[in-house]
A and B are shown apart, each in its own frame.
Chain A
Amino acid sequence: MSNLEKYTNAFVTCFEVDEETAKRLKYQDISAWDSVGHMGLIAALEEAFDIMMETDDIIDLSSFEKGKEILSKYGIEF
């Protein structure tokens, strides 16, 4: 599975949305991406990529696209 597939899959699984919806998502666009859902997403991404994110990055991850930019700091290429 490619990094993009793993990344997208985390959104699809956590928020129970299809891939196309996942790729357009921003924080609080849907009820599932609230503060609790956000922490579930972070945990899923950390598990998928075997990383531990810093607090500032956890807060800054405000959209699907922004998340890709943040994960690049951890050596994950898309």
Chain B
Amino acid sequence: MELNRQNIRTYSLLGSHRTFGQIALEFPKIDDKIVILAADQCSPAGLEYFRDQYPDHYYNVGIAEQNLVGIAAGLAKEGFKPFVTAQATFSTTRCFDQIKINMGYMNFGIKIVGLSAGLAIGQYGATHMSMEDIALTRAIPNMVVLSPADCTETAKALLAAAKDSRPTYIRLSGWMNNPIVYKEDYDFEIGKAITLKEGSDVAIIATGTMVYNSLKAAKILEEQGVSVKVVDMHTIKPLDKQAVLECSKSKLLVTVEEHSVIGGLGSAVAEEIALYKEKSRHLIIGVEDHYVKPGEYNYLVKQVGLSAEQVAERILKVL
């Protein structure tokens, strides 16, 4: 499908969660065996069009995430290619055993589309925030973990996942009117990070919504004479080791994510560089190890220290 300025802006306005519903309309053209199962998330995922156009390819299993993955496993066993969707926190933590056994161990190519990850629906409190979903899913053998930077990349990741046979978690973060990182179509490959900006002093590896904030932080730092490289690590697993290696040669390596500082992108990078003989220091920026009080998305981003200005400030302190 063609990604142009107009649909890129439309997806940005809809937010990554409802971009899913638009991209899903492409799935039957890719593979007629693709089916979508939702845990009562038709509207939040923007799946009304898909449901109405392809009623034989859509199932609402109700608010029952464990059944969601269990039923998807049965369908996968019968040759279907299920995408399942629910809020990120419920589609990973609540059905972790089903993911481990039915997706990881059985190696069924089920795709989980985790809606409103991170702080996106933080107004409902800690129960609806997903700060540990990357940590959980990447710990399971065979799993692929994707974390798109914006709604353009959400489209690219979903289309790539639809053509991929591996069990996959697609983490959709941010809210409506999601800032645009990719203003035009580009090449996307699972496992291949994208360098958005070159720089020599600091290398920022970011994922999800924090890619945009990191680009802004880089601009702030550049105004103060600090040269900053920014890499979009849209695939947390398998990690692009070559990209990490190149970033580790800078004076300071920084990872930025809207996820717990434990177990996410920062941990994945730290595990990778641990045995490097020569490497830079590594600053892990994310949500610290505590529960975040409820609030609106942009407010919460500042509360946890993830605004562009705060990221730049953190980097300057340790540089």
Contacts and interface: CB of A to CB of B under 8 A. Distances in A.
| Interface size grouping (class) on chain B | 10 to 19
B18 A46 contact: no
Contacts of A46: 9
Contacts of B9: 42-43, 46-47
A30 to B, nearest CB: 15
Contact of B46 (A36, A47, A55): A36
A47 B5 contact: yes
Interface string A37-51: 001101110110000
A48 B205 CA distance: 35
Contacts of B46: 36
A58 interface: yes
Interface string B10-23: 10011000100110
Contacts of A36: 14, 18, 21-22, 46, 49
B177 interface: yes
Contacts of B14: 36, 39
Nearest to A48: B6
Contacts of B227: none
B13 A39 contact: yes
A43 B7 contact: yes
A42 B6 contact: no
Given A36-B14, A36-B46, A43 B6 contact: yes
A46 B46 CA distance: 22
A23 to B, nearest CB: 22
B118 to A, nearest CB: 20
A35 to B, nearest CB: 8
Contacts of B21: 36
B250 to A, nearest CB: 33
Contacts of A40: 6-7, 10
Interface of A: 36, 39-40, 42-44, 46-47, 55, 58
Interface of B: 5-7, 9-10, 13-14, 18, 21-22, 46, 49, 177
Closest 8 CB pairs of A and B: A43-B9, A39-B13, A43-B10, A40-B10, A43-B6, A39-B10, A47-B6, A39-B14
Given A36-B46, A39-B10, A39-B13, 17 more contacts: A36-B14, A36-B18, A36-B21, A36-B22, A36-B49, A40-B6, A40-B7, A42-B9, A42-B10, A43-B7, A43-B10, A43-B13, A44-B6, A47-B9, A55-B177, A58-B13, A58-B177
9 contacts: A36-B14, A36-B49, A39-B10, A39-B13, A42-B13, A43-B7, A44-B6, A46-B9, A55-B177
